[in-house]
Structure formats: structure tokens, C-alpha cells
Structure 1
């Protein structure tokens, strides 16, 4: 399965189709998927290096995914996610593209990933989506 420069919905679709088989994902600076790659231990086909992430960040992402079971709806889930994002920022890991693709690897819906992206944008004072 090949997913070429996917947006949130396309990455989610490709992950679902590739269950139990290989998935090759091509990224660009505008559509990064390094978080997905690090989450699944993907191998860079150009360098042969296996992707990984810091255990501390993986723990934060697991917590963030836990609170996303309802798509980060307003209230408890979104408030808890905000606290986790603040921890991620404090630890120097707040990167929108990385977080969104890492959450996709953890089964968070495309809409949930967009909510997290908007929360990160607000934290960084950005108006982009």
C-alpha cells in the first residue's frame, strides 16, 4: 500500500487498508508523517534507518490518545488533552505535524487530529489550520 503525501483523512484510510500488511508513506515538509513513522517504527527507505521516539513523548501521546476517545469534544476530554499538550510543550516536543500523524497511528480519527491541530495552533499563536 502506498500513501503519497496524505492529509489526515487519507492517512487514516491508508492505515486502515494496510492493516496486516506493509504501508509506504511519502511525506513533504507541508504534509509531515514523522510522528506516524516513529509511532510504528517505520523504516526510512532512503536511509534504512528505523524511526523511533523518546519514551517520554510516547507516554504523552498515549495519554493524549486516551482522552481522544470521544474526538476531544468540549469538556473533560478536551480539557485533559490541553493539559497533556501543555506537558508536551513544556518538554519541548510541541510539533503540530508530528503530533497529528502520531495520533493517527494511535487510531485517533481525522477529525480528532484536526481538533488537536487547532489546539496546537492556538498554543503557538498561529492562525493556520
Structure 2
């Protein structure tokens, strides 16, 4: 049973983890991801959309994703007519695209295909997102001590994205012990704060820098 408090403002979330060794059944998993999203779109009587990093990136995706783009269209960060509150398939996002995709999917459904450059274990731990592969359980992706420490810094200083010296100092104090214990790394911390709807991509970058400095 999922006991994570979802603060992303998205009602239903899932992800397909990246795997450097390639899943032998990758296309089947991609089809399952599309099915997951379309089922929720149909149940809500909504039109799904695909979120990509740039308009020029709309071509070249694998058949399950390119077919969804052909049938339902896509949006991207510079698109001035992004839909709102609609199911989203977000393909290989950077931090900006993930944050914007969450805004488009607010009060709806979001499925994210993980990229090499933006690990999503922390994001899934924060949101309780379902792993399409079935390999990861969101509650197990982050130690309870690390989750509690991140929640403290989010509660006290997350609203300004750790841009001030006071906020960065508080975050260092809150996270020092779990980083020293090997329970938290920079990528996981960045993903975790991105899973909270009020943190922007520069906030994720700042918290990653803080954790990275504590790791040295």
C-alpha cells in the first residue's frame, strides 16, 4: 500500500526507469506505459498529450511514443498554447520539462520516461509514482531518515528554492547527517524536491549543489 503523501498536485503518477543494459522487452514496456496513460485519459474523458524537451525533438521516438504523438499531438517548454489539467506522457525530460509537464498534468495523470541525464528515483520516492517495470517500490527508493531530512528542508526553506544564504545554511544542517551516512546523493535529492509542486528546476539544482558539497 502506498503511504507517501503526494505533494506534486498530480493525481496519478507513473514512470518508466532508464536501464543502461536495456530491458529485453523495452518496446513492450513502452507500450504498457502508453496504455497506462491512455486508460486514465479515457476514464477521465480527456485528451492526452506528449511533453518533449523541444519542438524539433518530435521525430525519432520509438513506435509506441511516435504513434501517440501522431494521434494526440505534443507540447514543449516554449509552446505558448500548452494544454492544462490533462494526462501527459513526458519523454526523457530535463528538470525544466519535468516541472512544466507536472503543471500541465495538474489534477490529472502523468507518466514520465526517465532520461539518462535526470535520474528519477528521488522524484518517484517523493510522489509515490508507480514503476511500470514493477522493479521499484516508491517507499523503498529512499531511506526514511533521508526522506525526513528532505521534508524538513522543504518545509522550512523550500519555497524560495534555496536561493538565500540562510536557506542554504539550514539545508546543509538538515541534510549533513544523512549525506555523511551515505543515505542521500545529489541526484536523488534533486529528484525528490522536483516531486514537490512548489519547487522549480533551479531549486533542484541548488539542493543538488548543497548535497554535492556535503559529500566531499
Distance (Å, rounded) in 2 between the aligned partners of 1:48 and 1:82: 32
Structure with the higher fraction of residues in strand conformation: 2
Corresponding position: 1:124 with 2:215: yes
Distance (Å, rounded) in 2 between the aligned partners of 1:30 and 1:9: 12
Q: How many residues align?
A: 125
Name the residue aligned to 1:111: 202
Choose 34-43 or 48-57, whichever is displaced more: 48-57
User: Are the structure 2 counterparts of residues 98 and 7 from structure 1 closer, same or farther at C-alpha, using a change threshold of 3 Å?
Assistant: same
What are structure 2's unaligned runs of at least 5 residues? 1-87
User: Are the structure 2 counterparts of residues 116 and 30 from structure 1 closer, same or farther at C-alpha, using a change threshold of 3 Å?
Assistant: same
Q: Of the candidates 37, 61, 70, which is equivalent to residue 160 of structure 2?
A: 70
Name the residue aligned to 1:47: 134
1:51-77 per-position Cα deviation (integer Å, ceiling 9, x unaligned): 214332221111121212222123211
Distance (Å, rounded) in 2 between the aligned partners of 1:14 and 1:61: 23
Q: Of the candidates 97, 100, 103, which is equivalent to residue 10 of structure 1?
A: 97
Distance (Å, rounded) in 2 between the aligned partners of 1:95 and 1:48: 21
- Structure 2 length-normalised TM: 0.53
Distance (Å, rounded) in 2 between the aligned partners of 1:50 and 1:20: 23
Question: What is the alpha-carbon root mean square deviation over aligned residues?
Answer: 1.9
> Which structure: larger Rg?
2
Corresponding position: 1:102 with 2:192: yes
What are structure 1's unaligned runs of at least 5 residues? none
Kept after mapping to 1: 8 A contact 2:126/2:192: yes
SS in 1 for 2:126: helix
1:25-52 per-position Cα deviation (integer Å, ceiling 9, x unaligned): 1114432011111111111112275421
Corresponding position: 1:61 with 2:150: yes
Name the residue aligned to 2:39: none
